[in-house]
Structure 1
């Protein structure tokens, strides 16, 4: 505000001074005569001053025109001049506008438009470190992988963009399935930026897929140092890598190295079930049964698993069922309410032919959490207890459509694996397999309702069923309830229509 007032006052002062000077010149007497050949000019003092000003302006314009002509000649000669700088600035302005439009199109998901703008910006700017990045990303979005790879290769020439180029080509090779080249590029990118988290993860996965466990452990250590991996997760994954290394060494029949690697993996992560099993078997091979027992017991305390029980049985393979039942107390006294502990006890009692104890050990597991395994155990218990074949077949029929229970399931893609592996075979995730129950899938057998009597009844029962009175036929309504109109005379709607069925139900209640 103050500066505006000062400028107004200055302007008024200049106008006053010029007005006073003009008045003074008008009051001056006399004339100025300018004589040219054949022409004579008579000027007053004021006109003389104005003429001098016009003459000075014309001289200034003449010099400017001469300078412009000289600059034009230099421009035609290819020299840098004000004219060339003007056109360069204009071209640069249009190039940056095209670059900005390309970035907006890329963010909007318009790959082809972004690629067109990137080509225009590249032609106007001649700045490959800027335009090649946009062109590569736009070509990727548009599906032009060849042009994208060419753009990434141009970035390799500049030190500032070399990492971007290597990373881009690495992703292209991964998409094409060329894991060998992608691994080399990932190693080079890791050398340039060892703290880059995406490159660390990619390199770790590729090294694990190629069974380069030593290199993978080095990369894992770099992730820990860069702070992108918590220490507890690092210990777990390092144990997974050590276990994988042990499995490879074991496959090469190098038993000493396998034992050392598996024991190291179990020491780093005692809750890793495959590591505990392999370490226990290494101790068994070294005739150190006490350490094998301790390893399996500690793992069972964390998470009961059938592989742990199988390895525990290998400690004393020749023992009797009674001795085995007693020795397995070291496991079964822990996690007593866990389904795996209950099923293990039931299996041990079945082997010892103590079927009532097996039924008590299994508890209400077949009713509350039925699986194919515990239902098959119930069939074995009923068979061992002398139950009718129809009852045994009934349990086996339920097992056909029951879920399998916990399995090795990938946390990322939910693929089911028969055995534990460090890498998911489906999605390639590292250390994503966990022992858990997969999502329930309905199992439908063709003609299930028609096949059920064939699986649960004996031939004699089916024959009697066919030739018997109307009591052999029970009709249910659309909701699965008994149709009162179809219940034979003398029977209650909720009762079984055959005497042997009621006898079986009474016997089942007595066993329960």
Structure 2
């Protein structure tokens, strides 16, 4: 378009010039070697312009003839290069589709048409074809050759890393990933793998430093980087908790500033402050975390803040937590457990039942069973609550890749992923109410709760022996043959029509023996 505009402008200028000369006629005289040459001005201008055009055309012809051998060579070279790139493109598509035969054929054709030192994609195509055909040694050799070229070094390292992961050579994979991350921290796969490897080895300082490089290179977003840094700081604080409480406190509080709702950081910070006898500050951190998200571990840490507190003092602290988040399941369970320790069974039972009404889950029913065991010791009632716990939904726990842990961990023990643990119901059970009919409500469980049995006197024989004896007596009663029917005797007096007294009782109660009854037949079953 620009060339067309320039050509049009040039034509207009020439036309304007000729029209200007035509409007101003004149003669042009030239004396050369005594001869006078005279012509019109417009004829002279036309001749001059024609001479310039002839010179330009002649120069173009001479230049074309002079450079024709190079032009022919360049034409055939470009054609060969185009054929080579076409074969290379076809081979890469075939390798992506899994066609090893076509990929190998196109790789050989590309190598014949192109120079491998100038086009590294040929080596990549050969490596991919070798991987498809299962010749992993040849593929690794190709990837190692790529690492020698600065242009393909990152590609070669990634190929070697994937091969090492396939073979299970974790140490070699770690070295390849770290080498790639050191040279190019902006590579997401290398940075992520190196971060996980350093975390698995407990090299928290190196992991944090690498995370800062990723953040500066914008490999990860700022929010994600802050979350991962909080996880790494919490993990380092957990290791420092026993040996360096001050360092653990600094790391945990920094993690809380990065992620305010991260419960493990709040727990570690509070424990570090407890070791420094800063009870008030630690309690403030736990209270703030409890307001944001009540967690059982936060409640246990808060209630047992001081080791010298009595059970009543711990109950008061639990009630303070309940005041911060009233009508919450975790608050009610914390108060109920503290009430059990303080032997305030009425309050413990009321709080546990209230928690079961809000969310009928396993922990509430297990706590009711503990209350029964501590207060009444009635095995029937204890089994009743345990049966309800078996049918209730499971409690939330720290879950990562199907692995359930009783405490938070920075890495998944299955995949090694950082920040993989989530507080949720394990085994894929949905949080919230269970399916209709699957769980008995607390009101129905209370209606079917058996009454408290009278406590039996203590016996020197253990409970297992008593249960075995009762079972043997039941078997003997079932094995006893039924007495033969006797014809009814005729009435001889008025007293014969009276009803016979009942001398029996429960299956495990022989009752009072009737002296007028016939002796019982002997059996061969011996109980003792």
Does the alignment reach a TM-score above 0.5? yes
Deviation readout 1:356-384 (Å, 9 max, x if unpaired): 22222123544674444322211122334
Give 1:165's aligned residue: 156
Q: Does 1:133 align with 2:124?
A: yes
Q: For 2:234, what is the secondary structure of its paired residue? A: helix
Partner residue of 1:434 out of 422, 428, 433: 422
**Number of matched pairs:** 379
Q: Does 1:205 align with 2:204?
A: no
Q: Does 1:345 align with 2:335?
A: yes
Q: Cα distance 1:267–1:84, how it changes in 2: closer, same or farther (>3 A)?
A: closer
Q: For 1:408, what is the secondary structure of its paired residue? A: strand
Give 2:269's aligned residue: 279
Contact map agreement 1:345 1:358 (CA 8 A) in 2: yes
Aligned CA RMSD, in angstroms, stands at: 3.7
CA–CA distance in 1 between the matches of 2:176 and 2:415? 21
- Within a 5 Å distance, the mapping from 1:457-468 to structure 2 comes to none
Contact map agreement 1:102 1:113 (CA 8 A) in 2: yes
CA–CA distance in 2 between the matches of 1:326 and 1:376? 22
Q: For 1:283, what is the secondary structure of its paired residue? A: helix
Please, which runs of 5 or more residues in structure 1 have no aligned partner? 1-79, 443-454, 470-497, 499-512
Q: Cα distance 1:81–1:269, how it changes in 2: closer, same or farther (>3 A)?
A: closer
Q: Does 1:237 align with 2:207?
A: no
Task: Compute the displacement of 1:91 (Å).
Answer: 5.5
CA–CA distance in 2 between the matches of 1:290 and 1:310? 16
Partner residue of 1:415 out of 400, 403, 412: 403
Task: Compute the displacement of 1:289 (Å).
Answer: 0.6
CA–CA distance in 1 between the matches of 2:228 and 2:416? 15
Q: Cα distance 1:226–1:357, how it changes in 2: closer, same or farther (>3 A)?
A: same
Task: Compute the displacement of 1:204 (Å).
Answer: 1.7
Q: Cα distance 1:246–1:231, how it changes in 2: closer, same or farther (>3 A)?
A: same
Give 2:110's aligned residue: 121
Contact map agreement 2:412 2:418 (CA 8 A) in 1: yes
Q: For 2:398, what is the secondary structure of its paired residue? A: strand
CA–CA distance in 2 between the matches of 1:364 and 1:111? 67
CA–CA distance in 2 between the matches of 1:329 and 1:368? 18
Q: Cα distance 1:338–1:113, how it changes in 2: closer, same or farther (>3 A)?
A: farther
- Within a 5 Å distance, the mapping from 1:12-51 to structure 2 comes to none
Give 1:447's aligned residue: none
CA–CA distance in 2 between the matches of 1:420 and 1:148? 41
Please, which runs of 5 or more residues in structure 2 have no aligned partner? 1-68, 431-463, 479-505, 507-528
CA–CA distance in 2 between the matches of 1:432 and 1:466? 56
Task: Compute the displacement of 1:466 (Å).
Answer: 7.3
Q: Does 1:310 align with 2:311?
A: no
Q: Cα distance 1:109–1:401, how it changes in 2: closer, same or farther (>3 A)?
A: farther
CA–CA distance in 1 between the matches of 2:324 and 2:360? 22
Give 1:95's aligned residue: 84
Give 2:177's aligned residue: 186
Q: Cα distance 1:146–1:431, how it changes in 2: closer, same or farther (>3 A)?
A: same
Q: Cα distance 1:285–1:250, how it changes in 2: closer, same or farther (>3 A)?
A: closer
- Greater Cα shift, 254-263 or 146-155: 254-263
CA–CA distance in 2 between the matches of 1:424 and 1:352? 38
